[in-house]
A = this chain, B = another copy of it.
Amino acid sequence: MIGDKIYDLAVKLYPINRSLTGNGVRETLEILKEIVPFLHVSEIPSGTACFDWNVPQEWNVKDANGTKVIDFKKHNLHLMGYSEPIHTKMPLVELQKHLRSIADYPEAIPYVTSYYKRDWGFCLSHNEREKLQEGEYEVFIDSELKDGSLTYGEILIKGESEEEILLSTYICHPSMANNELSGPTVSIHLARWLLELPRRYSYRILFIPETIGSICYLSRHYKEMQNNIIAGFVLTCIGDEGDYSYLASIDGDTLADEVAQHVLSHIDKDYKKYSFLQRGSDERQYCSPGIDLPVVDLMRTKYGHYKEYHTSKDDLSVISPKGLEGGYEMVKKVLEALENNHVYKTTVLCEPQLGKRGLYPTQYFKSPGEYVFTMRNVIAYSNGKRTLLEIAQKINKPIWELYGIVQRLMEEKILLCVGD
C-alpha cells in the first residue's frame, strides 16, 4: 500500500529539527532524494533580498535545556525556534518570562518561533510548568545563528506542454506530523508517480520553508511562473482521516478552484470549502497582488482546525497510512482531471446512431441505463467549447467516469479532441 510507504517516510523524518534554515532542512531533503533522486537542492545566502524581505541567518542547534524537563533532546519543540545561544543561571521568576505553555491544553508543548527578532525561549506543557519549583535554574542553549543560507528543494518535470502545474509544500517545522510532514511525504510520492505518467503538463514541485521560502522562490521565478502555471496547489495537513478540504484562491474562480471543488465534491459529500479570508499558508504569497497565481490549498483537516495543531500532540498518531493514502489519491484525481481536461467536439450533426455501433440496445423497451445516458450527455455537451471538466460539472458526474466514455467515442470517431 502506498499509504504505508508514505507513513514510513513520515516516521523517518519526524525526529529531525527543521526550521526556516539549517541542517535539519538539508537532512530532510536528502531523505526525500532517496525517493526522487533528481530533487534539486538550492542554497540562498543569508541577507539576500527577496522583495520586501531578506533571507535570515542560518540557525543550528547542538543542545538546549533549562530544567530536567525542558530538554531539546527529549523533544525539539522544547526550544523556541531561532533561539539565540545563552548559558547562564537565573531564578524561576526570570525564567518564567522565557517560557511558553498553553493553559487550555495543558498536556501539549506549544510550537513557538521568533525568526526575525533575536530572543530565546523554552516551551513546555502547562502541566510541567505548574510543577516548577522556586529556585535557581541553569539555562543552556548551544545554538548558532550565523550567515549561512536558506535551503529548499524543487523537482521540475517536463511534459508535452510548457504549461505547468505547481505543487508546493513546506519543510520548516520540527517534529510535527500532519502539519507538516504529511505535505512533503505525499508530495514526493506524487512526484514519483508523475515521473511514470505520460504527461501533458509540466510540473513544478517545491519543498520550501513557509513564507520566506515562497517569497524567496517567487522573487527568483515569478515571471516564468506567471507565464506557465495554469493551476497550483499547496499541499498541507493532508494525512489525517478527517474530511477533505480546500481553501479558495483570492477570487475563487481559477481552474485550480474549479478542479478542486469538482474532485472533492465527488469523493466527499461533506468536504469543506474555506474562503481566502481563512488563508494561512503559502497561497498568501502565490495569490498576492502582482503575483496573482491560480493557487489553492488542498487538505484534509485544515491547519488551525484541529486541536493538536502547532503542538507536540501533532505527532505520528494524528496521521495514518489510510489518511495519507486518501490525501495522495485525492491529489492524484485532481492532477488526472487536469491532464484529461480536453475540449471535444462531435464529428456528426444531430445525435450519432449509437445502435449501429453496438452502444445502444436494439430494442427500445426499458431505459437503456445510466452508462448510455452519460455517453449521450458527453456527446450532447461536446460542442468544441466546453472542457471535459465543465461537462462533468454540467452532467453531475465525476470526471473520471467520463475518461473511458471519451476514449470509446474517440475510437468510434464520434468525438474529436480539438486544440487545447
Contacts and interface: CB of A to CB of B under 8 A. Distances in A.
Given A116-B362, A363-B113, A365-B100, A349 B396 contact: no
B362 A117 contact: yes
Given A114-B363, A365-B112, A395 B277 contact: yes
Contacts of A365: 100, 110, 112
Contacts of A288: 346, 349-351, 380
A287 B51 contact: no
B116 A290 contact: no
A380 B83 CA distance: 30
A420 B311 CA distance: 47
B112 A363 contact: yes
Given A119-B363, A345-B289, A346-B289, A351 B215 contact: yes
Given A116-B353, A117-B363, A277-B396, 17 more contacts: A50-B350, A51-B348, A52-B351, A53-B350, A53-B353, A80-B363, A116-B355, A215-B351, A218-B349, A219-B349, A284-B351, A285-B350, A288-B346, A288-B351, A289-B383, A291-B349, A291-B350
Interface string A116-153: 11010100000000000000000000000000000000
Interface string A270-301: 00000011000000110111111000000000
A376 B214 CA distance: 17
Contacts of A349: 51, 218-219, 222, 288, 290-291
A364 B310 CA distance: 11
Interface string A319-362: 00000000000000000000000000110111111011000001
B277 A119 contact: no
The copy count of this chain in the complex is 3
Contacts of A51: 348-350
Contacts of A355: 116-117
B352 A52 contact: yes
Interface residues of A, number: 56
Most buried by B among A277, A289, A376, A396: A289
B350 A250 contact: no
A377 interface: yes
A353 B56 CA distance: 12
A352 to B, nearest CB: 4
Interface string A149-192: 00000000000000000000000000000000000000000000
13 contacts: A52-B351, A53-B350, A110-B365, A116-B355, A116-B356, A117-B355, A117-B363, A119-B363, A121-B363, A276-B380, A277-B396, A284-B351, A291-B349
Nearest to A396: B277
A290 B362 contact: no
Contacts of A345: 289
Most buried by B among A215, A250, A276, A350: A350
A50 B352 CA distance: 10
A85 interface: no
A364 B112 contact: yes
Nearest to A394: B277
A359 to B, nearest CB: 12
A382 interface: yes
A287 B362 CA distance: 24
A333 to B, nearest CB: 23
Interface in A236-292: 250, 276-277, 284-285, 287-292
